[in-house]
A and B are shown apart, each in its own frame.
Chain A
Amino acid sequence: MSEGKSDSRARLIFDPDELDYNFGSEHPLQPRRIVALIDLLETCGLWHSTAEYNSLPLRAATVEELSLVHSHDYIAAVQTLGASGEVERQDSERVQLAMKYGFAEGDTPVLPRMHEVCAHIAGGSLVALNAVMGLSDDDTIIPEAERPLHVFHPAGGLHHAWAERASGFCIYNDISVAIASALRASEAKILYIDFDAHHGDGVQRSFYDEPRVMTVSLHETGRYLFPGTGEVLEMGNGLGRGYSVNVPLEPFTEDDSYIEVIDSLLSPLVLSFAPDVIVTQHGCDTHAWDPLTHLSLTIRGIQAQIRLAHQLAHSYCQGRWVALGGGGYDLYRVVPRAWSIVWAEMSEQTLPRQLPAEWVNRWLPVWSKVKEQEEEAQKVMGKVPVSTHFPTLFEDRPEEFPAQPRRWAISSTNRHTVALVRHLVLPSSIRHAFPSTRHHSPLAGLFDLLHIHGAATPSPSKTLETPAGPLLLRDFCPPSMVERLTADNGLHAFARLPEREHQLLLNIAKRPDCALALAHTPAGEIVGEVTIAPGDEWWEGLENVYEVAIEVSSNWRRMGVARDLLAFALELDALEDMILFAIGLSWHWDTEDLGLNVYRYRELISRLFATQGFVEYPTTEPNVSMEPANVLLARVGKRVDQQVASRFYNRMLSSPNLPGL
């Protein structure tokens, strides 16, 4: 049996010392949940604590490593407060210190030896990330083949800790420490996805201005729930703007809506950011049984989230994936199952359907003792306790989770949130390639729409002479044609890599409601594209509003390709029936390659679009108005109805909320 696994490249980090992260028997966060998890894994034969091939030893993080994230004063206070023999003392100096650093607030009380224990946990996550990145303690790089591909550290994921404050059961932020240390030692870009029901505020704060780390947090809205932050508009600061992504979900969100959210957001986000490694936090307090939150997922939704993380790591990061634990306060019914699934997914083992009877026999009595407390907790949170059973299967039984009364309203609010996030953080051509699940009106394809008067003409083409050789321009490129072409290596503005940009173009070509015009060399290298796609959700309810996006390979700039390609793509007379707009966002601009500052670049774009009759409009659209260099350009066709046009003008100046939200 171990034969097949010995070449597995997944590791799980667990050290019994981590169980000392224990705030006492009355505290909601109990290390026994990890004991129950390890017991379940071992009982199922999925993981063996003694076997080297599936585990990784951890070491404590050093003070120097911790100080990448935490202030020296804070670390010193943690050391002082937790020093042995001192914990019980209550002199005013200690009380002051505890108050200053967030230990006096009940949630995160002082622990004996807390510096050592927490440095251990931080070290676990740090070792995990270093291992996957091939970084070793002596600064040598470990060859790809000898590295583990995935590592799971269930005791990690303490995402609420701030630089100088303990908060929400978290003392040292193991996630930030691991990421900060990897940032220092390598050139990697790191994507962090936080699935915990609470907003990942600590990690977001650590990297709020850092464009090499994208933090994505999906959580219950902070309208009521701790920590109260995580609004969509918290998008990062300075250079890091656009690299903090928040998806606040409605209370009582269920599996279907949740799966729709992650499916329509995560892939395009990963594609646009192009990380080298993915770090995920799998707090399972999103489950309907959790006593501290209001999300209503079942194991089905949690499993979808875990699978997607695994799949994203393989599609975009050569498999490099670190998974961490996190919240999860239904200690025995949810945590062991949810995190067994993380490990099974990661190590590509199949879970049995049934929970092993001997495990159930061991843990059911433990749960029975806290059962009443749990039910009480659910009630005071405003949830209806739905099940009073101990599960016997890994999966949840759907019949135990009655539909939430406001399911429709909740899903539609979540859909609006996703639309807003997509609108704000995804570059337009990526959005065009990953259409949201919104149902489009059963209109004819854009080709038919644009050729209403004579559909007989084939897709036009044209040859353009440039100083670097001839280029072929083609409109309405069908998918088969895009497939036969390749992307020039300077084509990376949106998806960062030419191959992915090519995939993106292919996706756009496949959409009947989009038009794709390409410029390519006779050898079949795509050097530029213009896409025309229906306006996204911001423009919902307006007819005939289309967004135009343009890109030219960095190898083919300054030859007028953009102007000719744009003119070519917009040549059709039928476009006079439409409203076209283009949005220029300074953070997507390749100003470095061109050696221009953003204001010159803005001018360049305005001039380029002006050749096709586009005019700059003031707008309240949140992305454009966020930065003075950003610009919205639009062309209202000559035959557009006056009323339609004025509705478009109104929309440009409407309040920065999505319609209907």
Chain B
Amino acid sequence: MIVSEVMTTKLVTVAPDDTLSHAANLLRQYQFHHLPVVRDSSAIEAFEPNHSSRRTLLLEGLLTSHDIELAASSGTLSLSDVLQQPWQERRVIEVMNRASIRVSPNTSVAAAAQILVERGLNCLPVVEYERIGQTSEEQGNEEETQAVLVGLLTRSDLLMALARSLGAFEPGMQLILPLPLGDLTPLARTLLLAAELHIHVRSVIAAPLHIVIPLEATVRLGTINPTPLLARLQEEHIQYSFADLQREEDKYV
């Protein structure tokens, strides 16, 4: 799974020169906590007919609700300031952060998730680096690589990705397969049998939780009628549990 498959692409953005009051309104209206700050390069676009289908958004930074709160609270303190400008009238560019940690659409979701966890972030801009600028020969050196914003990866996106990976949005039942010593054969056999019986597999999770090998697989099957599959599993002596008494009892031990 890569970032481009799970990121948010319908973006609500602000420009560096927008006022904080405008940004605050947007945050409130959409119930967001982050706004990417972009410069619209539509002027450049006009010369490149190939790109005209897409607005090119050049990432300047990220404005969070926290940034606005800080600006609002410091605004009331700095009355002695020469400017004495109310926070609502301040410009986005004055309070945003540069959002120097970014990912690309091809970053793996696992890596992006790790960055979010490690850095304690809630949101990562997803950018592609493109060469934009005067490409005339004399100014070749002036050519600049710019970060073009293509999406935003938030914790909510990851949560959605997790729910989808678990098959949560599809009707299905759960089967748990013990994998003694991490041996994946029972899982492989079960999947083959499911394919044979035309039972859709919504999700398979066999991830190590505490030690390095997975000891259990959870398979979500798109069927209301697991009987034929379960009968075949018994025939082949594959262990499984499906709301069975023993397992339920174990929970209470």
Residues of A within 8 A of B (CB): 28, 104-107, 160, 162, 167-169, 198, 201, 220, 223-229, 250-252, 291-292, 294, 376-377, 379-382, 384, 405-406, 409
Q: Mark B41-78, 1 if CB is under 8 A from A, else 0.
A: 00000000000000000000000000000000000000
Is there contact, CB below 8 Å, between B248 and A406?
yes
Is there contact, CB below 8 Å, between A382 and B243?
yes
Interface membership of B214, Cβ < 8 A: no
**Which residues of chain A have C-beta atoms less than 8 A from B171's C-beta?**
160, 162, 167-168, 201, 226-229
Residue in A105, A220, A228, A291 whose beta carbon sits within 8 Å of that of B200 in the complex: A105
A168 to B231, CA, bound (A): 19
Is there contact, CB below 8 Å, between A106 and B199?
yes
Q: How many residues of B contact A (CB 8 A)?
A: 30
Least CB separation from A228: chain B residue: B172
B197 vs chain A, min Cβ distance (A): 6
Residue in B168, B224, B230, B248 whose beta carbon sits within 8 Å of that of A198 in the complex: B224
**Which residues of chain B have C-beta atoms less than 8 A from A250's C-beta?**
248
**Which residues of chain B have C-beta atoms less than 8 A from A168's C-beta?**
171, 224
Residue in B199, B220, B252 whose beta carbon sits within 8 Å of that of A228 in the complex: B220
A169 to B252, CA, bound (A): 35
A377 to B197, CA, bound (A): 16
B212 vs chain A, min Cβ distance (A): 27
Is there contact, CB below 8 Å, between A380 and B222?
no
Residues of B within 8 A of A (CB): 167-168, 171-175, 197-200, 220, 222-227, 230-231, 233-234, 241-245, 248-249, 252
Is there contact, CB below 8 Å, between A376 and B223?
no
Is there contact, CB below 8 Å, between B245 and A406?
yes
Q: List 14 A-B contacts (CB under 8 A).
A: A104-B200, A105-B199, A105-B223, A106-B198, A223-B243, A224-B242, A225-B243, A226-B172, A227-B224, A251-B243, A292-B224, A380-B234, A381-B242, A406-B245
**Which residues of chain B have C-beta atoms less than 8 A from A381's C-beta?**
226-227, 230, 242-243
B101 vs chain A, min Cβ distance (A): 31
- Sort A-B residue pairs by CB-CB distance and give the 7 closest, nearest first: A227-B171, A382-B244, A380-B230, A106-B198, A168-B224, A226-B224, A224-B243
Is there contact, CB below 8 Å, between A160 and B243?
no
Is there contact, CB below 8 Å, between A228 and B223?
no
**Which residues of chain A have C-beta atoms less than 8 A from B172's C-beta?**
226-228
A106 to B220, CA, bound (A): 15
**Which residues of chain B have C-beta atoms less than 8 A from A380's C-beta?**
226-227, 230-231, 233-234
Least CB separation from A99: chain B residue: B200
A28-B198 in contact given A223-B174, A382-B241, A405-B249 (Cβ < 8 Å): no
A224 vs chain B, min Cβ distance (A): 4
B250 vs chain A, min Cβ distance (A): 11
Is there contact, CB below 8 Å, between A169 and B174?
no
A405 to B198, CA, bound (A): 35
**Which residues of chain B have C-beta atoms less than 8 A from A105's C-beta?**
198-200, 222-223
**Which residues of chain B have C-beta atoms less than 8 A from A104's C-beta?**
198, 200
A367 to B222, CA, bound (A): 28
A229 vs chain B, min Cβ distance (A): 7
**Which residues of chain B have C-beta atoms less than 8 A from A107's C-beta?**
222-225
A329 to B189, CA, bound (A): 28
Least CB separation from A291: chain B residue: B227
Is there contact, CB below 8 Å, between A405 and B231?
no
Residue in B224, B227, B252 whose beta carbon sits within 8 Å of that of A160 in the complex: B224
Least CB separation from A384: chain B residue: B245
Is there contact, CB below 8 Å, between A224 and B173?
yes
Besides A105-B199, A406-B249, A406-B252, 7 other CB < 8 A contacts? Answer: A28-B225, A105-B223, A106-B197, A106-B200, A107-B225, A224-B175, A384-B245
Least CB separation from B167: chain A residue: A228
**Which residues of chain B have C-beta atoms less than 8 A from A223's C-beta?**
174, 243
Least CB separation from B231: chain A residue: A380
